Amino acid sequence: MMRLIAMRELRSLFAMPSTWFVLAALQFIFAWFYLARLEAFLEIQPQLAQLANPPGATLTVAAPLFNMAALLLMMLVPIFTMRLIAEERRNQTLTLLLSSPVSEGQIVLGKFAGLLAFLLLLIAALPLMIATLALGTRLDTGLLLSNCSGLILLTASYVALGLYFSSLTTQPVIAAIGALAVLAGLWLADIGAPAESAWHQLSPLYHFQNFNSGLLDSSDASYFVLFTTVFLLLTIKRLQNNRIYG
Amino acid sequence: MRNILGYIQGYLQLSSPLTLSNASSQITLSAQNLSRSFAAHRVIHDLSLQLLRGEVLGLLGPNGAGKSTTLQMLTGCLLPDSGRIEICGIDLQKKPVLAKAQIGYLPEIPPLYRECNVDNYLTFAARLRGMKADDVTAALLQVKQRCGLEVAGKKIISTLSKGYQQRTGIAQAIIHQPAVIVLDEPTVGLDPAQIRDVRQLIRDLGNSSSVILSTHLLGEVESVCDRVQIMQHGRLIYSDSSAGMQHYAQISGHLISLRKPPALSELVKIHGISSVEQTSPTEFRIMHAPETDTVNQLLSLAAQYDWQLQQLTPLHATLEETFVKITKEDAQ
C-alpha cells in the first residue's frame, strides 16, 4: 500500500510540466556552480601544491557544492511538499484515501517515500558530477559518502517538516509559506546565534556541517532521524484528527 | 424426456431467486445510535439504520439535513461521537482496514486525481482497495463497460466533461466489487439520458451488493430505491419501502372530464365531495373523503342527467407531496 501511494505521488509529479522545469533548472544551477568551483580550484591549484598537506579536489569542489545544494533544498522542498496533503484536501481526493482500507501511517509514509525518492533522483546528479573528477585526480571517497548521507538525511527531515505543514491546511501556498518560514527560522537560529549558543543545535543545517566536513557523528545522525520521525508522527496524528474534527 | 428436463430446468431457474433471497437477508451494513457534533452544534441525533444485501436504500432529505455527514461516518471518513457501525459484521472503529475493504464510496465531489488518465486512476483506486494486480485488468474492463467509459480510458480526467467525471467517480466506487456501495448524490451534473443510465446501473448494482444513496431528487427514489429513509435536522423521521411511501399521503380524489358539464354548484352538492376545482370548461378535479361511495354517486348522476362522462382518473400523491407532508408533520 505504501509503495502504491508513493508510486502515485511520483507519477503525478512527473505528469506536471513544472516538475520537469524545476528539475532542469536545478541541474543547470548545480552544474554551473560545480564548474565555477572547479575553475577556481584549477586557478589556485599551483599555490595549493606548495602547501605541506594540500586540500584535494573533493574538499574544495565537492564540499561547497553539497553545502549550496543543502541551502537550495531548504527553499525548494517546501514547494514540493506543499501539495502532498493540502491539495488532496482541496480537491477532495483525500476522501478516497480516508475511505480506503489503508491506515494513516501508510498514507503518510507513502507520500513521504514518494517525494523523497523524487528528491533523491534530483540530488543524485551531485555525486555523478563529482565522479567525473575521478578522471583527473583521486577522490576522497569518505568525504563524498559522508556528504551524500548528510544530504539525504537533511532532505528527509525537510520533507517530513513540509509534509506536516501540508497536513495542517487546505491551501498548498500556505503550507509552503509555513514550512519555508520555519526552515528559514531554524537556519537563522544557526547563523545568527553566538558561537557557543545552544540555538545552533536546533538547526538541521548546523548538523549538516559536520557531514559536510567529513565528520560522521552519531548525534547528528540521530538528530535527523528524530526530527524526521517527530514530524511524520505529527502528520499521522493530524490525519487521525481529520476524522475526529472533520 | 426433453420436457422433463425442461421442466427441471425451469424449476431450477424459478428456485434460484429463492436461494438468492435467502442469502439476501444478510445484513451488510448496520449503524446503531450514531450521533455527531461539530463544535457545539449537534448535526446527527441518535441515528440507526440497516442495509441488507441486494437492497437499494435512499436517504432523502432537504439540504443540510445531515445526509452527507451520515454517509461520511458510514465510510469511516468521519468518526461518530457515539454509536457503532458494522460493515459485513466487522466493526468499523475497531478494525477499520478490514471493514473499509468492503466499502465503495462516491462522495459529493468525486475524488478524482485530475492529472491522471482514467485507466491509471481506476487502477490506482482498485489497488488501493486491496485488489490484486492480476485481477485489476479484468475488473477495469468490466467497470468501464458498466459505466460507459470505454472511449475515455486514455483521456486525462481534467479534460473530461462533468458527466464523464461523475461516471469515473462512480466507477472508482464499484471497481473492487464491494459489498456496500455508498453514493452521495450520484446523478448530480448529469444530463437526462445519463441520469437514466446511472439509475439503471444503480439498480443493477443493487442486485449483487447493497447500495445506499443520498439524494434530494424524489424521482430518483421512486425509480431506483427499494426503501426510503427521510432525514430532517439530523434525525431519521420516516422509513418505509418506496412503494409504501407513495401510499403514505393518501389523497382521495379524481380527475373527471364531462362533455356536458353541469354547473359547478351541482357537483359540490354531491355527498362526500369536499372540493371541486374546474381546470378547463370540461375538466374537474374532485377531492372527496376517503372510502366513500362518492364515485358511484357521481357515475349514477352522470348517467341520470346525461353529463356524458369521458374520463375518470384517480389522483395519485406524488412523492413530492408525500415528502412535504412528512417533513411538515415532523416540524409540527
Domains of chain B, earliest start first? 26-248 (3.40.50.300), 253-315 (3.30.70)
Contact B107, A95 (CB under 8 A): yes
Tell me which H or E stretch contains A83: helix A83-90
Using the beta-carbon criterion (under 8 Å), do A96 and B38 form an inter-chain contact? no
Place of cell 352538492: B269
Using the beta-carbon criterion (under 8 Å), do A97 and B128 form an inter-chain contact? yes
Measure B34 CA to nearest chain A CA, in Å. 14
To the nearest whole percent, how much of chain B has pLDDT over 90? 27
Indicate the domain borders of chain A: 2-28+58-241
Closest CA to A112 of A168, A178, A164: A164
Q: H-type helices in A124-217, by residue range?
A: 125-131, 141-168, 172-192, 204-212
Instruction: Name the DSSP class of B283.
Output: E
- How far apart CA B167 and CA B56 sit, in angstroms, is 19
**pLDDT band at B123; cut points 50, 70, 90:** very high
SS3 of B47, please? strand
- How far apart CA B206 and CA B145 sit, in angstroms, is 17
Query: Mean pLDDT over residues B129-150, rounded?
Result: 91
User: Which residue type does A21 have?
Assistant: F
**pLDDT band at A196; cut points 50, 70, 90:** confident
Residues of chain B in contact with residue A106, where contact means CB-CB under 8 angstroms, are none
What is the per-residue pLDDT for B318?
Answer: 67
Q: Please give the residue of chain A at the shortest CA–CA distance from B82.
A: A244
Q: Which residues in B have their CB inside 8 Å of a CB on A? A: 38, 72, 75-79, 96-101, 103, 105, 107-116, 120, 124-125, 127-130, 172
What is the per-residue pLDDT for A211?
Answer: 92
Query: Mean pLDDT over residues A184-195, rounded?
Result: 88
Choose from A11, A100, A170, A240 for mutation: most chain B CBs within 10 A. Answer: A100
User: Which residue type does B214 have?
Assistant: S
Q: Please give the residue of chain A at the shortest CA–CA distance from B107.
A: A95
Using the beta-carbon criterion (under 8 Å), do A246 and B38 form an inter-chain contact? yes
Q: Please give the residue of chain B at the shortest CA–CA distance from A245.
A: B38
What is the per-residue pLDDT for A32?
Answer: 94
Residue range B248-268, pLDDT digits in tens: 656 677 888 888 888 888 887
Using the beta-carbon criterion (under 8 Å), do A99 and B100 form an inter-chain contact? yes
Query: A77 is written with which cell numbers?
Result: 522542498
DSSP helix, strand, coil percent of chain B (3-state; round to 5): 40, 30, 30
Measured distance between the N- and C-terminal CA atoms of chain A, rounded to whole angstroms = 24
The mean-pLDDT minimum among A49-53, A207-211, A240-244 falls in A49-53
Q: What does residue A52 show for φ and ψ, rounded to 5 degrees? A: -70, -45
pLDDT at A200 over 90: no
pLDDT at A25 over 70: yes
pLDDT at A185 over 80: yes
Query: Mean pLDDT over residues A81-103, rounded?
Result: 92
The mean-pLDDT minimum among A38-52, A178-192, B259-273 falls in B259-273
What ipTM was assigned to the predicted interfaces of this complex?
Answer: 0.87
What is the per-residue pLDDT for B261?
Answer: 83
Residue range B277-303, pLDDT digits in tens: 888 888 888 877 776 677 788 888 888
What is the per-residue pLDDT for B291?
Answer: 67
Residues of chain B in contact with residue A100, where contact means CB-CB under 8 angstroms, are 100, 128-129
Query: Mean pLDDT over residues B197-220, rounded?
Result: 87
- Strand-pair category, B283-288 with B273-280: antiparallel
Q: Please give the residue of chain A at the shortest CA–CA distance from B178.
A: A100
pLDDT at A53 over 80: no
DSSP per-residue codes, A51-79: SSS---HIIIIIHHHHHHHHHHHHHHHHH
Using the beta-carbon criterion (under 8 Å), do A100 and B100 form an inter-chain contact? yes
Measure B107 CA to nearest chain A CA, in Å. 7
Residues of chain A in contact with residue B129, where contact means CB-CB under 8 angstroms, are 100-101
What is the per-residue pLDDT for B10?
Answer: 45
Q: How many CB atoms lie within 10 A of CB B67?
A: 24
Report how many Cβ contacts below 8 Å link chain A to chain B.
71
Q: H-type helices in chain B, by residue range?
A: 2-23, 67-74, 96-100, 118-128, 133-146, 162-174, 192-208, 218-224, 242-248, 264-268, 294-305, 319-331
Q: Which residues contact B7 (CB under 8 A, 6 or more apart)?
A: none
Residue range B13-36, pLDDT digits in tens: 444 444 444 444 688 899 999 999
Measure A222 CA to nearest chain B CA, in Å. 32
To the nearest whole percent, how much of chain B has pLDDT over 70? 87
What is the per-residue pLDDT for B11?
Answer: 45
- How far apart CA A26 and CA A19 sit, in angstroms, is 11
Contact A101, B95 (CB under 8 A): no
Crossing angle (nearest 10°) for helices A104-123 and A83-90: 130
pLDDT at B184 over 60: yes
